[in-house]
Structure 1
Amino acid sequence: MSLTPLPKIMLEPLVRNALLEDLGRAGDITTDAIVPAELQDSMHLRARQPGVVAGLDLAALAFRLIDPSVKLKVERAEGQQIAAGDLIASVTGPARGLLTAERTALNFLCHLSGIASVTRTVVDAVRDHEAQIVCTRKTTPGLRAVEKYAVRAGGGANHRFGLDDAVLIKDNHIAMAGGIRPAIERARAHCGHMVKIEVEVDTLDQLEEALATGVDAVLLDNMSNETLKRAVGLVDGRAITEASGRVTPETAPEIAATGVDLISIGWLTHSAPILDIGLDHV
C-alpha cells in the first residue's frame, strides 16, 4: 500500500497547540523537578494490543518541538499491521524532553492508530467484494485532515473533506428546494463543471428522479440489502452508488455483496476506540 505522508506544515499547528495546552503556564513542573537537565535516555513505543499504526509523524513532531535533539527511529511503518508487544519506534534524547512530550505524542498516536485499526477491520470484512470503505465529515473539530489520513492508513478512502469540494444534496436540502429535481438543477447552475453532484435518496422513486435529472453519485441511505441490490440495478453504471447507515464489520459484507461502489461509515472517525500503545523506559 502506498501512503503519502501529510506535509509537516499541516501537522505542526495541531501538535504545537496540543503541547501548549498541556504545558499550561509553567511547563512540566513534575519532570523539571525530578529529572536532571543533562540526563539522556531511551524509551520504546510498544503496542499493547494488535492493530494498525498511524500518527508516527505527529508523535515524532511532539518530541522534536519540545527538544529538537530527540531522535525517533521507526520500526513499524505507517499503515502496517502490528501485534501486541511489537516495538513500533524508539525515541532517544534528553530525558526531560521525552517525558514532557510523552502524553501528547501518545494521544495522537493512539487515537489515529485506533481509527486505522477499525478501518482495516471493515476493509478486511469486504475484501471479497469490490466495494470501497470510506469515511465521512463526522470528525473531531480541528483533526479532520489527520483522521482522514488515518482512514487511508487503514486501507480505506475518503469522502469529501469539507462543504466546498463537492455537492451533497441531503434530505433537508431537498425539502427546502421543493424536490430533488430543483435541488439538482440549482446546484448544477451554481457550481462549475468540475464539481461533482451527489444526492441522498431513501427510496427507489427518489433514486429514479435523481437519475432522470442527472447526477454523479447517489447516496443510498438506510436501505435494506434487498433494496440496495435493486437500486444498483436501476443505476446500471450511470452514477457511483454509495451505501450508508447501520454499517458494522458484521453487516458490511452483505452490504458490499449488493454491488454498491462505496460504503460510508461515520463511526470510523467519530467513535473509534484508541489503540493502546505505551511509551516504556528501556
Structure 2
Amino acid sequence: MSDLSTVQKIIAEALAEDIGSGDVTTDATIPAASVSAAAMLAKQDLVLAGLDVSRMVFLLLDPNIRFDPLAKDGETITAGKEIARLSGNTRFLLKGERVALNLLQHLSGIATLTARYVEKLSGTKAQVLDTRKTLPGLRELEKYAVRVGGGKNHRMGLYDMILIKDNHIKAAGSILQAVERAKSAAPDLKVEVETSNLDEVRQALAAKADIIMLDNMPLGMMRGAVQLIDRAALVEASGNVTLETIRGIAETGVDYISSGSLTHSAPAADISMKIR
C-alpha cells in the first residue's frame, strides 16, 4: 500500500475534520465504558480496496479495538458478505465509523470501476492507466485502489515523468524544442508528448519521444497513428474513454489507455457498518 505515514496523516486529518471538538451525539447517549461488537457489510458486488485503511482509522482512535478482516483487498465481494468484524469501546466504534466507511467506500469504488475497465481489455495488449485527476491529499490512496483493481499507475505527480502537453508546446514554440529541452534538463526521465493529429505524431517521432499520447483522436486516425509510430515509441490513448468505447480504442493497437474517470468519477461502493 502507500507509505504508512502518509496514510496515517490522511486518517488523522479526516478524523479531526469529522470529530472536531467532540462527537456530541455519541458522548451524550453512550456510556463511556460501553463495549459493542459490529460488522462491516458489502451491500453490492464490489472489488475490495482499503480494508486495512479502515482498520487503521479505528486503531488510531483506540488501539484496543479488535478488527478482524474477513476478506482482503483485491477480492471480489458479493452483496451481503461480511468483510470485517469489530469489537471494542462503543464510543470509538461510532466516532470512527464514518471516516472508515468513507475511505473504504471510495477506494473500493475506484477498484471496482477499474476492474470493469480492465475486463473490457481482455485479449488485447492495452493496459489501463490512471491520471493526476485525483482528490487533493488522496492521490496515493486512490492510485493504490487503481492497482488493486488491476490498472496501472501513470505518473504520481509532476516530478517523476515528463509529459509535454499542448500548453507546454505552445509556450516552448514547438514539439521538437520542448522535447530537446526536456531531454537536456532531465535525461533520466521518460518523455511523453501529447498529440492531436498525425502531423503532431510525426513531429513527436522526429523528436524521439519515448511515449506518444493520442489525445481525443477518432479511431481511424488512431489506427493510422499506431501504424505510423510502428513501435518506435510506446503509444497511449486518452480522451473520450468510457466502458463503451475502451474496447474499440484498445483494438487500434495502442499500448496504454488513460482515463481520469477511474478516480474522479468512480461511484462509492455501498458498504455499511452495523452495531450488533
Name the TM-score class by shorter chain.
over 0.9
The equivalent residue for 2:44 is 49
Displacement of 1:47: 0.7
The equivalent residue for 2:95 is 100
In the aligned structure 1, how far is the partner of 2:44 from the partner of 2:60?
A: 28
Pick the aligned partner of 1:162 from 154, 157, 167.
157
In the aligned structure 1, how far is the partner of 2:270 from the partner of 2:77?
A: 12
Unpaired runs of 5+ in structure 1?
none
SS at match of 1:214: coil
The equivalent residue for 1:82 is 77
User: Cα deviations across residues 64-120 of structure 1 (Å, max 9, x unaligned)?
Assistant: 111111111111110111111111111111111111100000010001111111111
The equivalent residue for 1:242 is 236
Unpaired runs of 5+ in structure 2?
none
In the aligned structure 2, how far is the partner of 1:89 from the partner of 1:154?
A: 20
SS at match of 1:77: coil
Displacement of 1:221: 0.2
Pick the aligned partner of 2:67 from 65, 72, 89.
72
* Superposed structure 1 runs of 4+ greater than 6 Å apart: none
Pick the aligned partner of 1:264 from 252, 258, 272.
258
Q: What TM-score, normalized by structure 1, do the two folds share?
A: 0.96
The equivalent residue for 1:9 is 5
Identity of aligned residues (%): 47
In the aligned structure 1, how far is the partner of 2:204 from the partner of 2:6?
A: 38
In the aligned structure 2, how far is the partner of 1:178 from the partner of 1:149?
A: 37
Structure 2 letter corresponding to 1:247: V
Structure 2 letter corresponding to 1:67: D
SS at match of 1:92: strand
In the aligned structure 2, how far is the partner of 1:121 from the partner of 1:227?
A: 26
1:214 aligns with 2:214: no
Pick the aligned partner of 2:274 from 263, 274, 280.
280
SS at match of 1:232: helix
The equivalent residue for 1:28 is 23
In the aligned structure 1, how far is the partner of 2:93 from the partner of 2:38?
A: 8
Structure 2 letter corresponding to 1:23: I
Structure 2 letter corresponding to 1:210: A
Displacement of 1:7: 3.2
The equivalent residue for 1:135 is 130
After alignment, is 5-14 or 41-50 more displaced? 5-14
In the aligned structure 2, how far is the partner of 1:89 from the partner of 1:227?
A: 49
1:179 aligns with 2:174: yes
In the aligned structure 1, how far is the partner of 2:24 from the partner of 2:129?
A: 43
Displacement of 1:51: 1.1
Displacement of 1:268: 0.8
SS at match of 1:43: strand
In the aligned structure 2, how far is the partner of 1:232 from the partner of 1:166?
A: 22
Displacement of 1:215: 1.0
Q: 1:7 to 1:173 in 2, by over 3 A?
A: closer
The equivalent residue for 1:153 is 148
User: Cα deviations across residues 123-174 of structure 1 (Å, max 9, x unaligned)?
Assistant: 1111121100010000000100000001011110110011111110000111
User: Cα deviations across residues 226-247 of structure 1 (Å, max 9, x unaligned)?
Assistant: 1111111111111110000111
